[in-house]
């Protein structure tokens, strides 16, 4: 099965599920989100759906709706204060379904927080990205209203994102860990650093942060990047520790330089000064 077939089949399944939920009088909209909506799904992809409700439903009601659909292996998580939704998953037609339930009023607030109040919280960014790239399956008018709100990424939001996430420890700290060959800690820090750089690149490119999956795909759509960024990032994440740390240092400096060019209202002097801070060895008396 080719990628297009994986996407078409999963989209068909999603439409069936959404039609089932749309029968409930309290459902105000439903959307396909995630890799299927983006057109990136493969044979490993699950189906991610968002359902928007007029009022909160009990877990028992949500389980009954899934069972009436014919779902199996239903599992629900407690309400997530981070994404402000109730999440569940189950199996349907041989594929895993990840379903998020939001109150309509909650999603309206999330979109407004990000787009008009420049909220730099990552969980809200992920929600707005999902809405922006969603495929409407029920009440497309409501979803289009949210998408129109999110269509113009504000420059003030880019500045807010960069100001919140443009922060780096002194470079000598990773050099020290690499010299000690403390490879688990170095790799952990480099992975976290790559995520921070990705967040900054999203803001520089006026894109909502989409989460930590499909990073290479997202980066390939960007226009504001350091030269050969993806190849250098891959090298920095796989090279021997000294070379990896050195490459990350240049990537950090390159991205700070991009901030200077594209967001001149952000002061990078203190950030760069701290990053280039020199190690001072203590001398025993």
Per-residue 3-state assignment (H helix, E strand, C coil) for the chain = CCHHHHHHHHHHHHHHHHHHHHCCCCEEEEEEEHHHHHCCCCCCCCEEEEEEECCCCCHHHHHHHHHHHCCEEEEECCCECCCCEEEEEEEECCEEEEEEEEEHHHHHHHHHHHHCCCCCCHHHHHHHHHHHCCEEEECHHHHHHHHHHHHCCCHHHHHHHHHHHCCCCCHHHHHHHHHCCCHHHHHHHHHHHHHHHHHHHHHHCCCCCCCCCCHHHHHHCCCCCCCCHHHHHHHHHHCCHHHHHHHHHHHHHHHHHHHHHHCCCCCCHHHHHHHCCCCCCCCCC
pLDDT at 279: 82
Confidence of residue 285 (pLDDT cuts 50, 70, 90): low
Confidence of residue 81 (pLDDT cuts 50, 70, 90): very high
Phi-psi category of 30—alpha, beta or left, where left has phi over 0 and alpha has psi -120 to 50?
beta
Distance CA 200, CA 224 (A): 11
Give me the torsion for CA of 124, 129, 131, 137, rounded to 10°.
-140
pLDDT tens digits for range 140-175: 999 999 999 999 999 999 999 999 999 999 999 999
Distance CA 127, CA 113 (A): 11
In the chain, the percentage of residues whose pLDDT exceeds 90 is 96
Is residue 284 predicted with pLDDT exceeding 60? Answer: no
Q: How many residues does the chain have?
A: 285
pLDDT tens digits for range 25-75: 999 999 999 999 999 999 999 999 999 999 999 999 999 999 999 999 999
pLDDT tens digits for range 188-239: 999 999 999 999 999 999 999 999 999 999 999 999 999 999 999 999 999 9
pLDDT at 68: 97
pLDDT tens digits for range 229-276: 999 999 999 999 999 999 999 999 999 999 999 999 999 999 999 999
Distance CA 151, CA 77 (A): 31
Rg of the Cα atoms in the chain: 22
pLDDT at 178: 95
With 0-12 / 13-18 / 19 or more C-beta atoms within 10 angstroms meaning exposed / middle / buried, residue 255 is buried
Query: Whole-number mean pLDDT of the chain?
Result: 96
pLDDT tens digits for range 96-120: 999 999 999 999 999 999 999 999 9
Phi-psi category of 93—alpha, beta or left, where left has phi over 0 and alpha has psi -120 to 50?
left
pLDDT at 188: 96
Is residue 282 predicted with pLDDT exceeding 70? Answer: no
With 0-12 / 13-18 / 19 or more C-beta atoms within 10 angstroms meaning exposed / middle / buried, residue 253 is middle
Q: Which fold has domain 3-152?
A: Beta Polymerase; domain 2 (3.30.460)
Distance CA 186, CA 250 (A): 16
pLDDT at 2: 76
Is residue 283 predicted with pLDDT exceeding 70? Answer: no
Is residue 3 predicted with pLDDT exceeding 80? Answer: no
């Amino acid at each position: 099965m080719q990628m297009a077939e994986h996407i078409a089949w999963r989209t068909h399944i999603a439409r069936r599920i959404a039609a089932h939920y749309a029968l409930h009088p309290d459902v105000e909209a439903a959307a396909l989100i995630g890799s299927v909506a983006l057109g990136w799904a493969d044979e490993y992809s699950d189906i991610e759906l968002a359902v928007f409700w007029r009022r909160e439903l009990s877990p028992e009601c949500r389980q009954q709706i899934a069972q009436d659909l014919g779902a199996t292996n239903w599992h629900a998580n407690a309400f997530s204060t981070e994404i402000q939704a109730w999440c569940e998953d189950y199996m349907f037609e041989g594929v895993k379904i990840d379903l998020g339930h939001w109150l309509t009023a909650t999603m309206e607030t999330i979109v407004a927080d990000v787009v008009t109040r420049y909220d730099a919280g990552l969980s809200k960014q992920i929600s707005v990205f999902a809405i922006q790239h969603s495929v409407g399956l029920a009440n497309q008018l409501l979803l289009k209203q949210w998408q129109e709100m999110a269509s113009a990424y504000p420059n003030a939001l880019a500045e807010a994102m960069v100001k919140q996430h443009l922060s780096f420890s002194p470079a000598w700290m990773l050099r020290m860990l690499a010299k000690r060959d403390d490879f688990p800690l170095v790799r952990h820090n480099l992975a976290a650093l790559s995520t921070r750089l990705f967040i900054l690149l999203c803001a520089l490119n006026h894109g909502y942060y989409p989460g930590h999956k499909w990073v290479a795909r997202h980066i390939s759509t960007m226009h504001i990047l350091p030269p050969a960024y993806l190849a250098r990032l891959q090298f920095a994440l796989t090279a021997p520790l000294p070379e990896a740390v050195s490459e990350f240092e240049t990537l950090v400096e390159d991205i700070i330089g991009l901030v200077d060019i594209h967001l001149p209202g952000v002061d990078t002097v203190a950030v760069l000064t701290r990053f280039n801070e020199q190690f001072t060895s203590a001398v025993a008396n």
